Structure 1
Amino acid sequence: MVDIRDVAKHAGVSVSTVSNVLNGRIDQMRKETLKRIEESIKVLKYHPNKLAQQLKTGHVKMLGILVPSIMNPNFAALVNNIESIAKEKYGYQVLLANTSRQDKQEKLFLNDLLSFGVKGVIVVSSSIEKKHFINAINKGMVMVNYDGLTSEEAHNNKKILIDSISMDNFQAGKLAADFLLQQGCKNIVFATIKGNITSRNNKILGFLDSLKNAGLSTKNRIIEGTAQFAYGDSELAEIGKLLANEIIKNNKTLPDGIVAINDMLAIGIISELTRLGVKIPQDISVIGIDNMFLDTLFSPSLTSIASPLSDMATLMVDRLIAMLNGDKIEPREFLFKPYLVKRESVRY
């Protein structure tokens, strides 16, 4: 069986140099040396012993990711970015868990990660102040939180437990509403799914702030759909269709602009409104929040609010790996600026 000494001999380097490559410590390494070691690993078909690595370092080169549902395309895109960066930049693999926003599932996955020797995890769209997350941190797990900012109370008391990285959801909601108003819309609504989620609430607050600044009433502006399962990550388009019917049936005066909480909901709304004979964007302009790859694959293509997803994923992985390597980093909250991507679903 090939071991690390065989790789070192084949590449003409020391065992410690090969070890540095296996553990992602390549910043100071010459490209020629790195290439030679990688070729030797490939030629010899060397597979590092994960159990031995765990016994030596206390953890394996894997990161865990907890997402509410991979059925949500925005979460899928995030995972894809994280996985690429972790593999290509640091040689880490990724373990993924769909939690359905259930505390029990989150707790079970955290326990499994610890038992496998996985010490680094990215928690997506969940409150990091839950007891099972705090317990895992106390057991030595390193975490980064995505799209789940620290509560206002904890923030004011400066009790930020871990890094929190998110798009500025308040500005996203505000930017979407501002654009519709700038394009001449006078009666706009916000379509969403019921549920007390920080990112959702902040998008709504930003939307309402835009209306206030424009001197418009904020009453009866929020249209909510009810998910059958959890927070509806797997039913977004269908809920959008139901909301479209509600908009048509329950409004004597149709809105001329709709901000959707995310792009899948917007796609469902546009699909059903079109079926009902409403012209998009001539009758109603629609804008989503996510900027996912599906937005350009149907007509009219969807105008959306985008986040710098790759930049956020890079920051999460960089800081998580640094902490796993022993760097002392103070927990911080990072807000990334959203931006507008103009397409065909808003009239000009």
Structure 2
Amino acid sequence: MANIRDVAKHAGVSVSTVSNVLNGRTDQMRAETLERIQQSMQTLNYFPNRVAQQLKTGHAKMIGLLVPSIVNPSFAALAREVDLAAKKRLYRVLIGNTYRQVEEEEAFLDDMFSHGVRGIIVAACDIEKPHFVQAAKQGMMMVNYDGRMPANVESDGFTLDSVSMDNVDAGRMAAEHLIARGCRTLIFATVAGMTPSRAHKIEGFLSVVKQHGLYREGMIVEGQAMAAYGDTEMTELGRALAQKIGQQSPLPDGIVAINDAFGIGLMTGLHQAGINVPEQISIVGIDNISLSELVYPGLTSIMPPLKEMAEVMVERLIDRIENPALAPQEYLFPPSLVTRQSVREA
């Protein structure tokens, strides 16, 4: 079995240079040197001893990603980008599905500590729950994804960064696009159960309809999930809610969906009800998942810069693991509009 000295000899470099690669210290290394070392590892079937690394450094070269449900395409896309960003830094990602259940979140945190993981990305969860606060006190570094920085950050030992798309601007942008295309009877379609990101999207939506004098009661239409927050049911919830929307009088001519999976379900349900998209009802989703350009009509969506966000989260998490004294920061990314065929022409 090959060892680090075999890799160094094969690549024509020193053992310390190979060690720098294994420990992610490649900033000052020439690209050709790094590529040669990585090729030597592959040729010799060399696998670094993760246990030995953990004993030496006190933590594993792994980070955690906690999501409500990987079934939700938005979180699946997030997991992919986080994994790619971590691999570039020679880190692995351990993913936990928690379904927003406290006991699952607590178990995930315990597992991370037992595996020597000292940094996690917490996606779309209430980061101010006691078990997250306690984990931070015990030395777990955290980045809060899709949620703003908590009010008590830095107090009582609770330090973390937050990375999010500007969800208020996302809701605002979706509503503005529908109004610009001539829609005047708008609704916001979502799932019952409020999270910070959902509240911010609705806030942006309502600010625009009020600004244009289009506000009325009942503009927020909710579908009731079987499980809390509906993370695993988005498409079906959208399809079911379409039946309710199709019975409204007057019929809305523009819908902002809480996310693309929900929007795709809405389009399917409206089609089944004999309602044409976009001629009768235009729809804008939020998240821009890959399926949105494959359905017919293609779903117009508000897109987060997910790759850039993942890069920042992973880099910031590793920096904080190496230097826990770093002051926490909030990173708010602007969304962009991706136009397809689900919104009528002006």
Q: TM-score range by the shorter chain?
A: over 0.9
The one-letter code of the counterpart of 2:98 is T
**Does the CA contact (< 8 Å) of 1:127 and 1:149 recur in 2?**
no
Alignment partner of 1:340 is 2:332:
no
**Does the CA contact (< 8 Å) of 1:160 and 1:331 recur in 2?**
no
Alignment partner of 1:56 is 2:56:
yes
Alignment partner of 1:192 is 2:213:
no
1:3 deviation in Å?
2.1
1:289 deviation in Å?
0.6
Alignment partner of 1:95 is 2:94:
yes
**Does the CA contact (< 8 Å) of 2:302 and 2:337 recur in 1?**
yes
Alignment partner of 1:329 is 2:320:
no
Q: Counterpart of 1:231 in 2: which secondary structure?
A: helix
Identify which of 309, 314, 338 aligns with 1:312.
Answer: 309
1:156 deviation in Å?
12
Partner of 2:104: 105
How much identity, in percent, do the aligned residues show?
53
Give me the whole-angstrom Cα distance separating, in 1, the residues matched to 2:261 and 2:207: 24
TM-score (norm 1): 0.95
**Does the CA contact (< 8 Å) of 1:119 and 1:141 recur in 2?**
yes
Partner of 2:122: 123
Q: Counterpart of 1:154 in 2: which secondary structure?
A: coil
**Does the CA contact (< 8 Å) of 1:173 and 1:202 recur in 2?**
yes
Structure-2 change in CA distance of 1:2 and 1:159 (3 Å): closer
Give me the whole-angstrom Cα distance separating, in 2, the residues matched to 1:34 and 1:226: 52
Superposed counterparts of 1:1-348, under 5 Å: 1-87=1-87, 89-151=88-150, 153-154=151-152, 161-249=159-247, 251-326=248-323, 328-348=325-345
Q: How many residues align?
A: 345
Unaligned segments of structure 1, at least 5 residues: none
Give me the whole-angstrom Cα distance separating, in 1, the residues matched to 2:131 and 2:58: 21
Bigger CA drift: 133-142 or 66-75?
133-142
**Does the CA contact (< 8 Å) of 1:128 and 1:150 recur in 2?**
no
1:124 deviation in Å?
0.3
Cα shift readout 1:162-190 (whole Å, capped 9, x = no counterpart): 11100011111111111111111111000
Cα shift readout 1:68-112 (whole Å, capped 9, x = no counterpart): 00011011001100101110x211111111010111111111111
1:134 deviation in Å?
1.4
Cα shift readout 1:295-314 (whole Å, capped 9, x = no counterpart): 11121111111111111011
The one-letter code of the counterpart of 1:67 is V
The one-letter code of the counterpart of 2:78 is L
Give me the whole-angstrom Cα distance separating, in 2, the residues matched to 1:149 and 1:82: 19
Structure-2 change in CA distance of 1:157 and 1:257 (3 Å): farther
Give me the whole-angstrom Cα distance separating, in 2, the residues matched to 1:101 and 1:122: 14
Q: Counterpart of 1:100 in 2: which secondary structure?
A: coil
**Does the CA contact (< 8 Å) of 1:150 and 1:160 recur in 2?**
no
1:327 deviation in Å?
6.4
Give me the whole-angstrom Cα distance separating, in 2, the residues matched to 1:159 and 1:191: 39
Structure-2 change in CA distance of 1:110 and 1:327 (3 Å): closer
Structure-2 change in CA distance of 1:255 and 1:159 (3 Å): farther
**Does the CA contact (< 8 Å) of 1:160 and 1:332 recur in 2?**
no
Structure-2 change in CA distance of 1:157 and 1:42 (3 Å): closer
Structure-2 change in CA distance of 1:305 and 1:38 (3 Å): same
Give me the whole-angstrom Cα distance separating, in 1, the residues matched to 2:303 and 2:264: 16
Give me the whole-angstrom Cα distance separating, in 2, the residues matched to 1:110 and 1:159: 17
Give me the whole-angstrom Cα distance separating, in 1, the residues matched to 2:285 and 2:156: 33
Give me the whole-angstrom Cα distance separating, in 1, the residues matched to 2:288 and 2:156: 33
1:157 deviation in Å?
8.6
Unaligned segments of structure 2, at least 5 residues: none
Give me the whole-angstrom Cα distance separating, in 1, the residues matched to 2:157 and 2:240: 41
The one-letter code of the counterpart of 1:133 is F
RMSD: 1.8
